[in-house]
Amino acid sequence: MADVQGSDGTIVRPDDPSQYTVEFLPDGTLAIQVDCHHAVGTYTVDNSTVDLRIGGRTPAICRLGVLMDRFLRELDQVTSHVFRDGKLYLALPMDAGIHAFAPTSVAPPAATPAAG
Residue 80, judged by CB atoms within 10 A of its CB (0-12, 13-18, 19+), counts as middle
What is the pLDDT of the chain when averaged over all its residues?
A: 81
* Strand residue runs (E) in the chain: 3-6, 11-12, 20-24, 29-34, 37-46, 49-57, 80-84, 87-91, 97-101
Count of domains for the chain: 1
| pLDDT tens, position by position, 77-99 | 999 999 998 888 999 998 888 98
Note down the domain range covering 33: 3-97
Residue 114 is assigned to a structural domain of this protein: no
CB distance 83 to 60 below 8 Å: no
Residue 84 is assigned to a structural domain of this protein: yes
Residue 109 is assigned to a structural domain of this protein: no
pLDDT in tens, the chain (116 residues): 667 788 788 888 888 888 888 999 999 999 988 887 888 999 999 988 999 998 877 766 666 666 777 888 888 899 999 999 888 899 999 888 898 888 876 554 554 455 44
Residue 103 is assigned to a structural domain of this protein: no
Length of the chain: 116
Question: How much is the pLDDT for 26?
Answer: 93
- The CATH number of whichever domain residue 53 belongs to comes to 2.40.128.270
> How much is the pTM?
0.76
Residue 102 is assigned to a structural domain of this protein: no
Residue 65 is assigned to a structural domain of this protein: yes
Residue 26 is assigned to a structural domain of this protein: yes
Question: How much is the pLDDT for 28?
Answer: 94
